[in-house]
Amino acid sequence: MEFVQQLKASVDIVRVIGEYVRLRKASGNRLQGLCPFHNEKTPSFSVYVDIQAYKCFGCGATGDVIKFVEQIENLSFYEALKSLAEQFSIPMPKRAEYSDPESKLRGSLYDMNELALQLFRAGYRSQAAAQAREYVARRGLTPELVEQFGLGFSDPTGQALTRKLRAEGFSAEQIEASGLARKREDGGFYDYFRGRLIFPIHSESGKVVAFAGRTLRDEEPKYLNSPQTKIYHKSDVLYNLNRARNSIRKVEHSILVEGYMDVIGVFSAGVEQVVASCGTALTSSQVRSLKRHSDRIVVNFDPDRAGAAAAERSIQMFLDEGMHVRVLELEGGLDPDEYVKENGADVYRRKVETASNFFHWLADRARKKFDVSSAEGRMQGFQLLLPAIQRIPDKLERLAVVNDVAAYLRVDPGAVLDQFRKAAAERKPVAVRKQTISAVPKAEKILIQKMLRDSEACAAALPQVAELPNLGRLAAGRIFEAIVTAASQGEAIEFSRIEGRLDDTTKALLHDIAFADDIDGSGESVQDALNCLKTLEDSDLEAQRAEMRARVREAERSGNLQEALRWTKELQKMSASTR
């Protein structure tokens, strides 16, 4: 194909791949970086300038510039060809248009999203969008930001977009596949987004692949996101990465926030390296997308309890991928965009620069939870950090963090190393499998079985499981976290799907629990699951009471009667609140 050769001769593979991978000069005409197609800690992905090709010596991925765009953007050959031609302003012959039904459908989805974007943006200027404009003004967004992020408004009647797509000649099958409309029982369509403030969602290369709509009334859901389509896989896409990626490389870190408005608010402060997941819990695919641009990240989630729990779950994923994590907590209970509006861009930027190392953030949480004035409390605080430290893949870095955190909590280094060696020994497979399952409380085992085996029990228990304050500290905590994450991404709670999210040690524990015949319940799955949740909540409360009683005894032994009295009052207060 003459045009293919012409395009490859005109396009610099280093420039294209460099948009997705941080490349460093290696030997000769070779550049090197972390492979974007598999998880790795040491670069094995090479780009050869002289032959305009790439090869990963880790996973075996290889090809030319067209193949790279195919793989990284999940496109067909002709879609990749067209994308490159458009990007580099190279006229594309008519005969090279979409040549198969799948590519033709995907092309139509991109075209429909562009039409939708135009219609939503025009709708934002209409009289019907007055409330949307008032909301945006209250949130401090300038007209320039509205234009830059392409904010729009969807027709409240639910017919404008459907009529537009029909008028442009799109078929019923294409309209249904777009996710922009829903089919009625009579065969007609109505708009998926109705009367909402619209946020366009782009792929990393900048194509509109989906939308999010915020309600302006008292209705649920507050944010409605496009369903998955042939061009939109929400677990792979990060909001604003198309704008943020160059800045991420320049400043050598990214910032992760929770919502669309948070992204825009932080971006308005001149902090352009900011992204958010698209209405879902963070996924490993999204983490790898960020890591391709920088292995350093600042997590700045909302300051409420749900935000702290989400931050902790997300941070574990970053640590598993070998990233360096800092945590930014904003005072005043403000979300990032509210903080910028109230305190100004300069103050927020300084906050980013001085954000705490993750382990210091976690240590500060331990300080609030445990009485670190006692040796026992300090060791309890360190044990809270231990699981996260163990997940650091590099041995030397792990040891450095151990010493740093031990000094921060004023824990005896010898005792720390004993705890660390003991925990490492317990992670050895096979030898501790029976001990591991025996250490899991019966309520956890029954709950996992019921959730995996009975969809009604799972549906009844899942919301409460996700809200458990001690989820990560449960003996089978990683299994429950995998279930919660899978559900948040719209996946069915099935054994094979949950198994695929676990490391080998936790996978063995899941096998032991899922296939055990001696884990009994009453036989009524929904009630069993709810009973187990009540047991776990009660156990957590009792553990907190026991911890306070231990603090009272410790204070009495040391003669600190004022401290003993304070903890006694706290214990009484807790007991009164749970009656």
Q: What is the pLDDT of residues 454-463, one digit of tens each?
A: 888 899 999 9
Better pLDDT: 419 or 287 = 287
Share of the chain above pLDDT 90, in %: 40
pLDDT at 213: 97
pLDDT at 433: 41
Better pLDDT: 420 or 256 = 256
Residue 520 has pLDDT above 80, yes or no: no
* Beta strand residue intervals within 283-380, DSSP E: 296-299, 324-327, 356-357
User: Quick count: other Cβ atoms within 10 Å of Cβ 180?
Assistant: 29
Cβ pair 128, 196 in contact under 8 A: no
Q: What is the mean pLDDT of residues 407-415?
A: 77
Q: What is the mean pLDDT of residues 495-519?
A: 73
pLDDT at 468: 80
User: Quick count: other Cβ atoms within 10 Å of Cβ 120?
Assistant: 26
Q: What is the mean pLDDT of residues 273-292?
A: 88
Residue 429 has pLDDT above 60, yes or no: no
Rounded CA separation 343/520 (Å): 56
Alpha carbon 507 to its chain centroid, in Å, reads 22
Residue 512 has pLDDT above 80, yes or no: no
pLDDT at 8: 86
Q: What is the pLDDT of residues 131-167, one digit of tens each?
A: 999 999 999 999 999 999 999 999 999 999 999 999 9
Residue 360 has pLDDT above 90, yes or no: no
pLDDT at 273: 97
Rounded CA separation 450/519 (Å): 10
pLDDT at 210: 97
Q: What is the mean pLDDT of residues 414-422?
A: 69
**Please, what are the domains in the chain?**
2-96 (3.90.580.10), 101-225 (3.90.980.10), 238-354 (3.40.1360.10), 363-427 (1.20.50.20), 431-579 (1.10.860)
pLDDT at 1: 57
**Measured in Å, how far apart are the chain's first and last C-alpha atoms?**
78
**Average pLDDT score over the chain:** 86
Q: What is the pLDDT of residues 291-350, one digit of tens each?
A: 989 999 999 988 777 777 777 788 888 888 888 999 998 988 899 999 999 999 999 999
pLDDT at 96: 47
Q: What is the mean pLDDT of residues 346-357?
A: 93
Most confident of 43-47, 148-152, 186-190, 356-360: 148-152
pLDDT at 181: 97
Burial track 440-461 (b if 16+ CB lie within 10 A, e otherwise) = beebbbbbbbbbbebeebbebb
Rounded CA separation 426/308 (Å): 28
Amino acid sitting at position 344: G
Better pLDDT: 510 or 180 = 180
Residue 536 has pLDDT above 70, yes or no: yes
Q: What is the pLDDT of residues 372-396, one digit of tens each?
A: 788 888 888 888 787 778 777 777 7
Rounded CA separation 327/45 (Å): 30
Tokens 């989400």 map to which residue? 310
Q: What is the DSSP letter of 148?
A: H
Residue 371 is encoded by which pair of tokens? 């009485």
pLDDT at 511: 72
Ramachandran angles phi, psi of 198, nearest 5°: -105, 135
Q: How far is CA 479 from CA 85, 485, 507, 532, in A?
A: 46, 10, 8, 15
Q: What is the pLDDT of residues 158-214, one digit of tens each?
A: 999 999 999 999 999 999 999 999 999 888 999 999 999 999 999 998 999 999 999
Rounded CA separation 35/41 (Å): 9
Residue 499 has pLDDT above 80, yes or no: no
pLDDT at 495: 67
pTM beyond 0.85: the answer is: no
Share of the chain above pLDDT 70, in %: 91
Residue 435 has pLDDT above 50, yes or no: no
